[in-house]
């Protein structure tokens, strides 16, 4: 059983090997660039941005496993054999960290942390910055998959009023579910906070633009922790500047890392973070890969398989 790894570079290999040795000693783990790698023996590949053409050269390959949540870095290579399952990297830690981040950002918004910081900078004792209560705050989550559902449960447990939108109807306790394009407006019409946790597909690209933002109540905030192409950042900045949007937390960008010259770093109503909303540990990733390898070995269904015709 051989797993080839391209994730974190050559310097990450000792850590990967030690993690996998502890979890599944019979698994042989070899680096992508290791000259000793025999392509004929590779059965599993854990990859980030695999060199185009290379996956097609492993004749015994059974599963391609992304070492990140997205798989576009794999699917953009037309030579990747279409019959092979591709799994996304989603672990219990991914869900926990995402729920932590989105809940923290939501509290930062309702308790006006940016305004408190400004007051502190000016040494101004300001008893007017009292914010609002979670229980009078509606959060609309776009995408109720692994991460959206985890955020919905955590926000609801913290007393927020939670609504969520997906392609199909969901049953999540204390989360009002809306399904399909025709229900999107209803989902966000009274939202104080909109959280984007949609995948990047032809249907979601550019969804959060001028029209979408104008339909939000004045004073709403946006948290984008999904993917960058869904959000028109120019429209977001315009809306912040007119005062329609109150604030925006942006964790994902079209071009990463965001250039140090980018205007967004300085925008007073924008919180920029470095795609860290849910950066999970290698230990958690290795556990997930082993879980799927064992499922494959025993003929059980794999977890978090990418569905090509849906694009996520």
Q: Which positions lie near ligand NAP, rule CB under 6 A?
A: 69-70, 90, 94, 143-148, 165-168, 197-201, 203-204, 225-227, 251-252, 275, 277-279, 312
Nearby residues of 114 by Cβ (< 8 Å), 6 or more positions away: 108, 247, 268, 269, 271
Query: End-to-end distance of the chain based on CA atoms, in angstroms?
Result: 28
Radius of gyration for the chain, computed over Cα atoms and rounded to the nearest angstrom:
21
Q: How far is the CB of 17 from ligand NAP (least distance, A)?
A: 25
Q: How far is the CB of 126 from ligand NAP (least distance, A)?
A: 33
**41 or 183: whose CB is closer to ligand NAP?**
183
Dihedral pair phi/psi, residue 229, rounded to 5°? -65, -15
The full DSSP string for 169-206 is ---BTTEEEEESGGGHHHHHTT-SEEEE-----TTTTT
**50 or 199: whose CB is closer to ligand NAP?**
199
User: Distances from the Cα of 285 to the Cαs of 21, 128, 152, 222, 280, in angstroms?
Assistant: 14, 45, 23, 29, 7
Q: What's the farthest any 2 CA atoms get from each other in the chain?
A: 69
* CA pair distance 234, 115, nearest whole angstrom: 23
Q: Determine contact, residues 44/62, Cβ cutoff 8 Å.
A: yes
Nearest residue to 143 via CA among 105, 116, 178: 178
**108 or 199: whose CB is closer to ligand NAP?**
199
**43 or 232: whose CB is closer to ligand NAP?**
232
Q: How far is the CB of 168 from ligand NAP (least distance, A)?
A: 3
**26 or 182: whose CB is closer to ligand NAP?**
182
* CA pair distance 194, 237, nearest whole angstrom: 15
Q: How far is the CB of 286 from ligand NAP (least distance, A)?
A: 17
Helix (H) or strand (E) holding 106, with range, is: helix 92-110
User: Distances from the Cα of 157 to the Cαs of 41, 94, 188, in angstroms?
Assistant: 48, 18, 20
Q: How far is the CB of 2 from ligand NAP (least distance, A)?
A: 27
**17 or 94: whose CB is closer to ligand NAP?**
94
Q: How far is the CB of 219 from ligand NAP (least distance, A)?
A: 25
Q: How far is the CB of 88 from ligand NAP (least distance, A)?
A: 6
Q: How far is the CB of 146 from ligand NAP (least distance, A)?
A: 4
The residue of the chain with the least Cβ separation from ligand NAP equals 145
* CA pair distance 46, 29, nearest whole angstrom: 10
**1 or 203: whose CB is closer to ligand NAP?**
203
**70 or 114: whose CB is closer to ligand NAP?**
70
């Amino acid at each position: 059983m051989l797993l080839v790894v391209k994730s974190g570079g050559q310097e990450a290999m000792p850590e990967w090997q030690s993690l996998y040795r502890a979890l599944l000693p019979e698994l042989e783990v070899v680096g992508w660039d290791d000259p000793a790698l025999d392509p004929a023996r590779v059965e599993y590949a854990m990859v980030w941005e695999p060199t185009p053409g290379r996956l097609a050269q492993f004749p015994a390959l059974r599963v391609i496993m992304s070492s990140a949540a997205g798989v576009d870095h794999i699917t953009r290579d037309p030579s990747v054999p279409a019959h092979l399952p591709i799994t996304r990297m989603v672990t219990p830690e991914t869900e926990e960290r995402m729920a932590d981040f989105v809940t923290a950002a939501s509290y930062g918004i309702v308790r006006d942390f940016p305004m408190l910081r400004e007051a502190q900078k000016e040494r101004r004792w300001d008893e007017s910055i009292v914010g609002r209560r979670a229980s009078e705050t509606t959060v609309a989550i776009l995408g109720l998959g692994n991460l959206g559902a985890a955020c919905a449960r955590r926000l609801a447990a913290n007393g927020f009023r939670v609504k969520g939108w997906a392609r199909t109807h969901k049953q999540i306790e204390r989360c009002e579910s809306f399904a399909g394009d025709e229900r999107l407006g209803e989902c966000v019409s009274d939202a104080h906070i909109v959280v984007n946790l949609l995948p990047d597909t032809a249907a979601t690209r550019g969804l959060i633009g001028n029209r979408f933002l104008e339909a939000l109540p004045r004073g709403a905030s946006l948290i984008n922790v999904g993917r960058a192409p869904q959000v028109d950042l120019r429209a977001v900045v315009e809306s912040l500047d007119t005062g329609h949007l109150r604030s925006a937390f942006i964790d994902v960008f079209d071009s990463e890392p965001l250039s140090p010259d980018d205007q967004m770093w300085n925008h007073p109503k924008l919180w920029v973070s470095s795609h860290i909303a849910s950066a999970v540990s290698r230990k958690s990733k290795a556990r997930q890969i082993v879980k799927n390898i064992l499922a494959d070995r025993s003929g059980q269904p794999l977890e978090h398989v990418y569905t090509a015709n849906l694009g996520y």
